[in-house]
Structure 1
Amino acid sequence: MTDLERSTREGFASRFNRAPLGLWSAPGRVNLIGEHTDYNDGFVFPFAIDRRTVVALAPRTDRLVRVASSFADEAIELSLDELIPENLHGWSAYPLGVAWALGSFGADLAVVSGFEVYIDSEVPIGAGLSSSAAIESAVALALNDVWGLGLDRPTLARVGQLAENRAVGAPTGIMDQSASLLGRTDAAVFLDCRTLDAEVIPLGFEAADLDLLIIDTRVSHSHATGGYADRRASCEAGAAALGVESLRDVAEADLGRAAELLDDETFRRVRHIVTENQRVLDTVRTLRERGPAQIGPLLDASHVSMRDDFEISVPQLDLAVETARRAGAIGARMTGGGFGGAAIALTPRVLLPVVRTAVAEAFRLAEYAAPDMFVVRAGDGAQGHRDESDSLPAAG
Structure 2
Amino acid sequence: MTSLSASPVLTTSAWFVPGRVELLGKHTDYAGGRSLLAAVDLGHTVTARAREDRVLRVVSSLAEDAVELDLDAPAAAAPAEDGHWSGYVRTVAARLDANFPGMLRGAEVEITSTLPPAAGMSSSSALIVGLALVLIDLSGIAQDPRFVRAVPDREHLAEYLGTLENGQSFGELAGDRGVGTFGGSEDHTAMLCVPEGGLVQYSFCPVQREREVPFPEGHCLVIAVSGVEAHKTGAAREDYNRISLAAAEILRRWNLDRARMDPTLAAAVATAPTSAAAIAGLVAGEDYLPGRLEQFLAESERLVPAAAVALEDGDLEELGRLVDESQAAAEQHLGNQVPETIALQRTARSLGAVAASAFGAGFGGSVWALVPDAQADAFARDWEAAYLAAFPQHRGAARVLRTRPGRAAHRREVTA
The TM-score normalised by the length of structure 2 is 0.81
- Identify unmatched segments of 5+ residues in structure 1: 1-19, 392-396
Using a 3 Å threshold, how does the CA distance of structure 1 residues 93 and 158 change in structure 2: closer, same or farther?
A: farther
In the alignment, is residue 376 of structure 1 matched against residue 403 of structure 2?
yes
- Choose the corresponding residue for 1:250, options 254, 261, 269: 269
Q: Secondary structure of the equivalent of 1:226? A: helix
Query: Structure 2 vs 1, CA of residues 111 and 327 (structure 1 numbering), >3 Å: closer, same or farther?
Result: closer
Map of 2:3 onto structure 1: none
Q: Which moved more, 1:110-119 or 1:223-232?
A: 110-119
Deviation at 1:258, TM superposition (A): 4.4
Provide the secondary structure at the position in 2 that maps to 1:52: strand
Matched residue pairs, number?
Answer: 366
Aligned to 2:146: none
Residues 61 and 319 from structure 1, CA distance in 2 versus in 1: closer, same or farther, beyond 3 angstroms?
same
Code of the residue aligned with 2:254 in structure 1: it is L
Between the aligned partners of 2:278 and 2:231, the Cα distance in structure 1 is 34
Per-residue CA deviation, residues 277-309 of structure 1 (Å, 9 max, x unaligned), is 021122223323445564221111110010111
Q: Percent identity?
A: 29
Q: Tell me the alpha carbon deviations over residues 340-382 of structure 1, each in whole angstroms, 9 at most, x when there is no partner.
A: 0001111222332453344334324424424311112111111
CA distance in 2, matches of 1:204, 1:131: 23
Q: Which residue of 1 aligns with 2:50?
A: 59
* 2:156 aligned partner, one-letter code: T
Q: What residue is the counterpart of 2:220 in the other structure?
A: 211
Q: Greater shift after overlay, 48-57 or 279-288? A: 279-288
The separation in 1 between residues aligned to 2:304 and 2:404, in whole angstroms, is: 20
Q: Provide the residue aligned with 1:235 in structure 2.
A: 247
What do residues 228-249 of structure 1 show as CA deviations (whole Å, max 9, x unaligned)?
Answer: 1111111111222233543213
The alignment partner of 2:253 has SS state of: helix
Match of 1:198 in 2: 209
- Superposed CA deviations along residues 116-148 of structure 1, whole A, max 9, x for unmatched, are 111111111111000012112222221222222
Asked if structure 1 preserves the Cα contact closer than 8 Å seen for 2:24 and 2:304, the reply is yes
Match of 1:153 in 2: 154
**Deviation of residue 161 (structure 1)?**
1.7
Contact 1:24 1:141 in 2 (8 A): yes
Measured at CA, do residues 357 and 254 of structure 1 come closer, stay the same or move farther in structure 2, by a change above 3 Å? Answer: farther
Report the equivalent of 1:303: 327
Describe the shift of the 1:227–1:153 C-alpha distance in structure 2 as closer, same or farther (beyond 3 A). same
TM-superposed deviation, 1:97: 2.1
Q: 1:265, 1:22 → 2: CA distance?
A: 46
Give the whole-Å Cα distance in 1 for the aligned partners of 2:93 and 2:36: 28
Does residue 270 of the first structure (1) align with residue 293 of the second (2)?
yes
Q: Does 1:46 align with 2:37?
A: yes
SS in 2 for 1:309: helix
In terms of mean alpha carbon deviation, does 225-234 or 247-256 score higher? 247-256
Correspondent of 1:349 among 373, 380, 401: 373
SS of the aligned residue for 2:305 comes to: helix
Q: Tell me how far apart the structure 2 counterparts of residues 268 and 83 of structure 1 sit (CA, whole Å).
A: 43
CA offsets, 1:218-265, max 9 Å, x none? 111211212111111111112222335432133796555444432142
Q: What aligned pairs does 1:320-331 form with structure 2 within 5 A after superposition? A: 320-331=344-355
Find the partner of 1:101 among 72, 95, 98.
95
1:72-83 equivalences under 5 Å are 72-83=63-74
Residue 220 of structure 1 corresponds to 229
State the distance in 1 between where 2:380 and 2:413 align: 41
TM-score between the two structures when normalised by the length of structure 1: 0.84
Choose which of 17, 26, 42 in structure 2 pairs with 1:35: 26
Q: State the secondary structure of the residue aligned to 1:167.
A: coil
**Cα 1:268–1:366 shift into 2, 3 Å:** same
Equivalent residue for 1:261, pick from 266, 269, 282: 282
Q: Is the 8 A contact 1:247 1:274 kept in 2?
A: no
Establish whether residue 184 from structure 1 lines up as the match of residue 175 from structure 2.
Answer: no
Residue 125 of structure 1 is matched in structure 2 by 117
Q: Retained in 2: the 8 A contact 1:101–1:162? A: no
Closer, same or farther: CA 346–39 of 1 in aligned 2, 3 Å: same
Contact 1:24/1:55, CA 8 A, preserved across alignment: yes
Question: Mean alpha-carbon deviation: is it higher for 314-323 or for 147-156?
Answer: 147-156
Provide closer, same or farther for how the CA distance between residues 112 and 326 of structure 1 changes in structure 2, counting only shifts above 3 A.
closer
Distance of aligned partners of 1:42 and 1:86 in 2 relative to their CA distance in 1, 3 Å threshold:
farther
SS at match of 1:51: strand
Instruction: Give the conservation status (yes or no) of the 8 Å contact 1:235–1:247.
Output: yes
1:314 correspondence with 2:338: yes
Cα distance in 1 between the residues matched to 2:309 and 2:365: 28
RMSD: 2.5
In structure 1, C-alpha distance between the alignment counterparts of 2:103 and 2:413, rounded to whole Å: 22
Deviations 1:158-192 (A, max 9, x none): 34322322332222210001111112322123221
CA contact (8 A) 2:69 2:90 kept: no
Query: Which residue matches 1:10?
Result: none
**Within-5 A mapping of 1:11-22:** 21-22=12-13
Say whether the 8 Å CA contact 2:97–2:104 is kept in structure 1. no
Structure 2 gaps of 5+ residues are 1-10, 143-150, 167-176, 256-261
Residue 46 of structure 1 and its aligned partner are, at CA, apart by: 1.4
Cα distance 1:136–1:307, how it changes in 2: closer, same or farther (>3 A)?
A: same
SS at the partner of 1:24?
A: strand
Say if 2:16 and 2:412, in contact at 8 Å, map to a contact too.
no
**More deviation in 243-252 or 110-119?**
243-252
